[in-house]
Chain A
């Protein structure tokens, strides 16, 4: 098991994607907006350097077909994709759906997850 500092260097880029259909439900909009705010608020440096990328992706548009297939998206969802020395690792985060009634809890939680991924910790 590599130490976290060794893997930290190995994490090259993290994509935080909010996939959604054209017609969105209110919970789906909240999941996307809170994620965007989390990234912009707590990871401004990483966004500026390009290490973390955030985007709302309309999965119904033809131009996003490749991303939808890459992430194997099945609908409205928040995905975290990590690129490191061993390749690409994607995960759908389902816990955020339980936290949309409490924005601060949502943001604290997602901040914690992203900090772990930045450190190469996939737990």
Chain B
């Protein structure tokens, strides 16, 4: 059986949790969420010298995704709100935000523009610190926001496949949570790889501060490139 045949068989499995996991995995590898995940990987890797911090950042990012998916699924499953009432506006306006959001985060991470204090420079600095140094709140927010941005195909997977599954099972929490975990799996796995491989490079760790500066710059550039990608998608 080919890969897609396998994904189809698993994604339409009679066991809801198995189906949810594989629909999530499909989401993780489809083009648009893949770009958000790559930027998330760049984001978690800037903490590369902090060992387990990298893994925790990846997990917190996935938790952010989870909160969004569980919130939407719960609204539909438990309050009887129609999927349509949420799906259509989110698709219409959600990805309008994505391109500009990526650009702003990328520019902040690059630290190339200094904002005068009189123009809110202090706040910008705090925001930058939150985004790139302290991490957890930033990566949680990043996960939650990325999950909110539905490209056409990710909307098919979430609203067309996962939500009907959650409605049939009457479960607005576990099923979307498993799905969310699978969508964040590449980020978690890659942060694991980063943690273990960097850990082996003991002596280099001394130079890690310079290294972190560069990973942050690279992450900033990846955000800007992704921002441009989403802006082009929007206007093409």
Contact = CB atoms under 8 A, between A and B. Distances in A.
Contact of A99 (B4, B11, B157, B233): B4
A98 B5 contact: yes
Interface string A99-115: 10110000000000000
Given A25-B151, A59-B88, A94-B161, A76 B156 contact: yes
Binding site of B, secondary structure by majority: helix, strand, loop or mixed? helix
Contacts of A50: none
Contact size range, B? 20 to 34
Nearest to B23: A94
Interface in A1-40: 20-21, 23-25, 27-28
Contact of A97 (B87, B88, B156): B156
Contact of B87 (A20, A25, A74, A98): A74
Contacts of A94: 12, 156, 160-161
A74 B163 contact: yes
17 contacts: A23-B234, A24-B152, A25-B32, A27-B30, A27-B152, A72-B83, A74-B155, A74-B163, A75-B156, A76-B152, A92-B164, A94-B12, A95-B12, A97-B157, A98-B5, A98-B8, A99-B8
Interface string B180-209: 000000000000000000000000000000
A121 interface: no
A77 B87 CA distance: 12
Contacts of A21: 91-92, 152
Given A25-B151, A72-B83, A77 B88 contact: no
Interface in B162-190: 163-164
B117 interface: no
B87 A28 contact: no
Contacts, number: 72
Dominant secondary structure at the A interface: loop
Interface residues of A, number: 25
Contacts of A28: 152-153, 156
B159 interface: yes
Nearest to A77: B160
Nearest to B159: A74
B167 to A, nearest CB: 11
Contacts of B87: 74-75
A73 B156 contact: no
Contacts of B151: 25
